[in-house]
Amino acid sequence: MKILIKKGRVIDPKNNTDDILDIYINGAVIEKIGKNIKEKGDEDAIINASGHIVAPGFIDIHTHLREPGYEYKETIKTGTLAAAKGGFTSVVCMANTDPVNDNKSVTEFILKKARMEGSCRVFPCGAITKGLKGEELSEIGEMFDAGIVAISDDGKTVKHSGLLRKALEYSKIFNIPVISHCEDTDLSQGFVNEGMASLLSGLDAVPSIAEELIVQRDIMIAEYVKAYIHLTHISTAGSVEIVALTKKRYSNISCDTCPHYFTLTEEATLNFDTNTKVNPPLRSEKDVEVIKEGLKNGTIDIISTDHAPHDLTSKDVEFNLASSGISGLETALGLSLKLVHDGVLSLSELIKKFTVNPARLLKLPYGELGEGKTADLIVFNPDMEWIVDKNLFLSKGKNTPFHGWRLKGKNLLTIVDGRIVYREGTI
């Protein structure tokens, strides 16, 4: 297919591009980028992007697609549809499926299903330990040969320090990152942040130190064995400060946070809406401000979604019994653009946290626009206002605390490998 995108504001942080340009796509490749390109697109494939942003397709390093095993919550088909709608052309799916992705067979199943039914690229993340039990290392080498791009026991911390050390040493052999879920489970027996939320609600509390202790431990082990460590969905001021200090002396470290950690505070849990129950929990106003500052000064490298879709019955229960997580792929861009509107980040800085930095972490040849590069890109309008309606989500997961919110900024077009996989009616 031949696609011509005309007169969009092309922002590509990797190549320091920010200009009004045309992009001509021939098949799966960007053939030309420039002004007043004369080539023709196929019928219905000439896109007027005037007034819109053209950017590399976003990469989400932390997604739960639920398949195999929890197809009633999400499937690879519905999850990637949601991703494409949200502006993501690549997603990394976590290993907490059933069976757990701790072996070659499950990895191959995910990749095969993604090739058959996926609307965007899917990169599996393998489990660090068999069955996520924290007792024995998974077959990391076999999973790497099958196609994993990282290892993580996300949803759980590798409690055994010696086992984590071995995993980090293996990760050096295969040159893939360990993505660490930082939670001291002996301290985090609650459901909301320890502070105002737990005091007023009476719900059992999760102190910030439960995250910060493991952040510090995992960094120390990684530094000791000289391995790369990525800390996912960090939520506390203390975690940001630990990472900032570490980066001054150790370069093989990165971290991400999620839109709900710079958009909501623990106050949102006080009405007992189970859609605000996440792990780690929503934190204090101070934590939110430090998370924003960490995004601004580069301490936090990546914005991920931690897309965690659930069926209604998993959320329509008492707060302490509800499953944790937010269906986040379709609201991530709109929520994150508030950082731009509020002057926290420039558009280029925001796009970099969704593209260049995750591509660098996972060593993927995506996240940039250039002649001869793969045609993965999006067109979005940063000023278009829209109302979040969970009933219009393409994800099976309707669990969002943002239903009814008015957001400013919306994705309108997603192209993966030269194919239009999502198109809003207004473009």
Is pLDDT above 90 for 204? yes
Which H helix or E strand runs over 55? strand 53-56
How confident is the model over 370-390, as pLDDT tens digits? 999 999 999 999 999 999 999
Residue linked to tokens 């494939």: 45
How confident is the model over 109-129, as pLDDT tens digits? 999 999 999 999 999 999 999
What pLDDT shows up at residue 97? 98
Looking at the domain assignment, is residue 387 inside a domain?
no
CATH number reported for the structural domain that contains residue 322 in this entry: 3.20.20.140
The number of residues in the chain equals 427
Alpha helices (H) in 130-278, listed in sequence order = 140-146, 161-174, 196-201, 209-225, 237-247, 259-263
| Residue whose C-alpha is closest to residue 256's, from 134, 131, 92, 98 | 92
- Give the separation between CA 246 and CA 406, rounded to whole angstroms: 38
Looking at the domain assignment, is residue 389 inside a domain?
no
Does one domain contain both 272 and 257?
A: yes
Does one domain contain both 326 and 212?
A: yes
Eight-class DSSP state of 43: T
Is pLDDT above 90 for 81? yes
> Beta 121-126 vs 88-93: how paired, if at all?
parallel
258 and 304 in contact (C-beta within 8 Å)? Answer: yes
Does one domain contain both 43 and 71?
A: no
Looking at the domain assignment, is residue 393 inside a domain?
no
Domain that includes residue 18, residue range: 2-54+373-381+405-423
| Residue whose C-alpha is closest to residue 387's, from 399, 402, 404 | 404
Does one domain contain both 148 and 273?
A: yes
Does one domain contain both 35 and 76?
A: no
CATH number reported for the structural domain that contains residue 9 in this entry: 2.30.40.10
How confident is the model over 37-62, as pLDDT tens digits? 988 877 778 999 999 999 999 999 99
Catalytically annotated residues: 306
Looking at the domain assignment, is residue 321 inside a domain?
yes
Phi, psi of 9 (to 5 degrees): -85, 105
Largest Cα–Cα separation, the chain: 66
Looking at the domain assignment, is residue 185 inside a domain?
yes
Note the pTM of the prediction, 2 decimals: 0.97
Does one domain contain both 71 and 169?
A: yes
Q: CA Rg, the chain, in Å?
A: 21
What pLDDT shows up at residue 39? 83
User: What secondary structure does DSSP assign to 328-341, as a single string?
Assistant: -TTTHHHHHHHHHH
Last residue of a domain, one of 334, 362, 390: 362
What pLDDT shows up at residue 44? 73
Does one domain contain both 20 and 152?
A: no
Does one domain contain both 268 and 307?
A: yes
- Supply 4's token pair: 């011509």
Eight-class DSSP state of 326: B
Helix (H, G, I), strand (E, B) or coil at 293: helix
Residue linked to tokens 């995506």: 366
Looking at the domain assignment, is residue 298 inside a domain?
yes
341 and 383 in contact (C-beta within 8 Å)? Answer: no
Does one domain contain both 120 and 7?
A: no
> What total number of domains does the chain contain?
2
Cα angle vertex 216, ends 212, 222, to 5°? 140
pLDDT, the chain, mean: 97
Does one domain contain both 78 and 36?
A: no
Looking at the domain assignment, is residue 316 inside a domain?
yes
Does one domain contain both 39 and 89?
A: no
Does one domain contain both 110 and 9?
A: no
162: pLDDT confidence band, cut at 50, 70 and 90? very high
Looking at the domain assignment, is residue 367 inside a domain?
no
Residue linked to tokens 């206002």: 385
